[in-house]
Amino acid sequence: MRERDTIIPCNFQYSKPKPFFPRRKTRQIKIGEVAIGGGAPIVVQSMTKTDTRDIERTVSQIKKLEQEGCEIVRLAVPDREAVKALGEIKKQVSLPLVADIHFDYRLAIACLKKGVDALRINPGNIGSREKVREVVRAAKDRAVPIRIGVNSGSLEKGLLRKYGKASPEAMVESALRHVRILEDMDFPLIKISLKASDVMRTVEAYKIMADKVDYPFHAGITESGSLIPGSVKSSVGLSMLLNLGLADTIRVSLTAPPEEEVRVGFLILSSLGLRFRGPNIISCPICARCEVDLLKIVTEIEKRLSSAKDYIDVAIMGCMVNGPGEAKEADIGVACGRGVGVLFKKGRVYRRLKEQEIIPEFVKEVKKLVGV
């Protein structure tokens, strides 16, 4: 038997995937012009990692996030100076901004006056009913939604005593307490998040909550870690939630630049067939048959196509044994061999490239298809 007959071909699936479950039916709210829930596309959001008081750096980070496709940005607002900066930042960016505030109701009201598009604040943590009422009144006047965000790490002591730990049930009860405060004040523009730093607890909490309210969910695995471990943990957790139809906005929380959070967020959505942004790069894992520097070729092509927004299947394969079969299946592909690359378009050989032409010419051909 010849060597090529012994190779088991890789079975890549090139057709766009489809999620297993329908989306949970929710009310719809709007953060700025971005619709959330109620059948709207799942929204990718992130959070700035600059000091909000540093207007220039924060604006620059928000603009970078926008280029990556981010649709909503959250900023921590720890004090009055940050509120003042937020007002300036708001004038210089077009993405909707969410002010993240802990405890101080006056900061929440000041942010609303600065034109912020949403608040993340837990009403049960800001003191007297009158203080909550003031915030709610100001949010209602401006039709600004409030996200109730429960984190397993900061649950109320009473709930920890009642449940013995930060269990999914304890997280849900905490969120419901905050929800009820807003409902009692006739405030319906609510979004909920229930984040734990481990996958199963997070998923369970959302599953329980889904039976109790019809407000949209913001989903994510909190404090999930650095780029690779955090992306894996977030992908697993968000995939479970998305496949159950339990996420309306997502954030991948990484100890990494926020643009990476957005990139990973879209990759998760496109892997599940929920939203598509940019080329889907299919590349082989490299083996002893590879006769080119495929790692360099793939890395460089990915970098040069990073601004492309349209979805297209792009295959970059390392040899002439398995490569052509896989490259043919994609919208555009290249199978590399010793000193050459055979370029396929829509299943047919289109061009032969010299090794040094592979990167620039392949990128040029992809760009023609996606109109960059």
Which residues of the shown chain bind ligand SF4 in the complex (CB under 6 A)?
A: 284-287, 289-290, 317-319, 321-323
CB of 289 to ligand SF4, least distance (A): 4
248 φ/ψ sector (left φ>0, alpha ψ -120 to 50, else beta): alpha
Q: How far is the CB of 318 from ligand SF4 (least distance, A)?
A: 3
The DSSP bridge partners found for residue 313 are 280
Q: Least CB distance from residue 288 to ligand SF4, whole Å?
A: 7
Query: What is the Cα 333 distance to its own chain's centre?
Result: 27
Q: How far is the CB of 334 from ligand SF4 (least distance, A)?
A: 11
For residue 137, the tally of other CB atoms under 10 A from its CB is: 14
Q: What would the two tokens of residue 256 be?
A: 């990494």
Nearer to ligand SF4, 289 or 367 (CB): 289
Residue 44 or 335: the one with the smaller Cβ distance to ligand SF4 is: 335
Residue closer to ligand SF4, measured from CB, 227 or 281: 281
CA torsion sign for 230, 272, 309, 32 is negative
8 Å CB contact between 278 and 306? yes
Both tokens of 269, joined, read 């959505």
What string of H, E and C letters represents the secondary structure of 33-59? CEEECCCCCCEEEEECCCCCCCHHHHH
> Min. distance of Cβ 305 from ligand SF4 in angstroms?
20
Longest dimension (CA), the chain: 82
Locate 159 and state its tokens.
């709930």
* 203 vs 292 by CB, closer to ligand SF4: 292
3-state secondary structure of 106: helix
2 and 13 Cβ atoms separated by less than 8 Å: no
Residue from 67, 72, 89 nearest 35 by CA: 72
- Least distance from C-beta 344 to ligand SF4, angstroms? 14
* Least distance CB 124 / ligand SF4 (angstroms): 54
Q: Which residue, 22 or 285, is less far from ligand SF4 as judged by CB?
A: 285
CB-wise, 124 or 337, nearer to ligand SF4? Answer: 337
> Of 335 and 363, which CB lies nearer to ligand SF4 in the complex structure?
335
Select 135 or 292, whichever has its Cβ closest to ligand SF4: 292
Contact present, 116 and 98 (Cβ < 8 Å): yes
CB of 366: closest distance to ligand SF4 in angstroms? Answer: 19
User: Is 35 exposed, middle or buried, given 0-12, 13-18 or 19+ CB atoms closer than 10 A?
Assistant: middle
